[in-house]
Amino acid sequence: MAYSLHEKLAADCESLGDLDLCTVLLMRDHRFPWVILVPRMEGLRDFHDLPRNRAIVLFDEIDRVSRILVDEFEVEKINVAALGNQVPQLHVHVIGRYASDAAWPGPVWNAGVVGEVDQAVVGERALVLRRVLREPAGRPPETT
Amino acid sequence: MAYSLHEKLAADCESLGDLDLCTVLLMRDHRFPWVILVPRMEGLRDFHDLPRNRAIVLFDEIDRVSRILVDEFEVEKINVAALGNQVPQLHVHVIGRYASDAAWPGPVWNAGVVGEVDQAVVGERALVLRRVLREPAGRPPETT
């Protein structure tokens, strides 16, 4: 069976494009800069279903998106999570957080549903992210 | 500055021992088999602060703990998350979930605080996990 994006992810998010492993989505929620990475492989459910040789690629893509959220939106903290209790397809949340945001210091899931979405905010974020994601990926030197 | 475990993690959890990269903790919460992995490196805050050459080790340790939770406690789903809004030291939650548990299908953080802990349940879990974690790690063959 071929890979296809789960219909709930497709319905709830803006599409930002594809990286090597993952399709990149932006949650339609003006409260948080909230990116979702979906590995384009069929049959993944839990994080540990990912083949080991793809895990480092997922790490690189989480790393890249995290740095973009810090650089472009000046977020103060990144939350990373693979939950998938409601959407069984493996997807990784990469969420930029501020000490002033609607859920701080709790997880974003404690903040309830978004209600009416401010689409201007979401649309502007999507424009910025699509532009930056088209640029070549760089990674700072190794530190150990 | 040397690595040391954050005092809140030490206070809230049972210690299960050390893997190559991470100290392994068990949250004192009878509602969920809830392991926390803490990389023993000073100065890590966000997931993307982890050096790339340690990321695959973290993946392996998440993978190992996830499979143990499935095998020993027959959990139906694994949630993996690095949040750290309240405890700034990088730590990764690896939580076994059941469709019958106190938070399902929400994240465990939606279930409120645990209240009085059933220490018999937590203690039995800790015994099982310490035993299994002492065994040599194996990993199933690669699949791509």
Give the residue on A whose Cα is nearest the Cα of B86: A105
Q: Are B52 and B16 in contact (CB under 8 A)?
A: no
Contacts of B108 (CB under 8 A, 6+ apart): B31, B32, B34, B79, B95, B97, B102
**pLDDT tens for residues A95-116?**
999 999 999 999 999 888 888 9
**Predicted pLDDT at B140:** 53
Please tell me the predicted confidence (pLDDT) of residue B49.
95
Identify the segments of chain A with pLDDT beneath 50.
Answer: 143-144
Q: How far is A107 from chain B (nearest CA, A)?
A: 7
Residues of chain B where predicted confidence (pLDDT) is lower than 50? 143-144
CA distance A33 to A101: 10
Determine the residue type at A91: H
Residue A120 burial (CB count, 10 A): 9
Contact pairs from chain A to chain B, CB under 8 Å: 115
Of the candidates A45, A67, A142, the beta carbon closest to that of B48 is on A67
The tokens for B142 are 């690669």
The answer, yes or no, to whether ipTM is higher than 0.95 is no
Q: Where are the alpha helices (DSSP H) in chain A?
A: 7-12, 52-73, 119-134
Specify the pLDDT at position B81.
98
Residues of A at the B interface, defined by Cβ within 8 angstroms: 45-48, 50-56, 59-60, 62-63, 66-67, 77-86, 97, 104-107, 109-110, 139, 142-144
Q: What is the pLDDT of residue B112?
A: 84
* Helical residues (DSSP H) of chain B, grouped into ranges: 7-12, 52-73, 119-134
Cα–Cα separations (whole angstroms), residue A59 to A118, A139, B61:
31, 12, 14
Kindly determine whether residue B109 and residue A107, on different chains, have CB atoms separated by under 8 Å.
Answer: yes
- pLDDT of amino acid B31: 97
CB distance A63–B52 less than 8 Å?
A: yes
How far lies A95's CA from each of A30, A100, A107, B52, B73, in Å?
A: 12, 14, 10, 20, 30
Q: Which tokens go with B89?
A: 């030291």
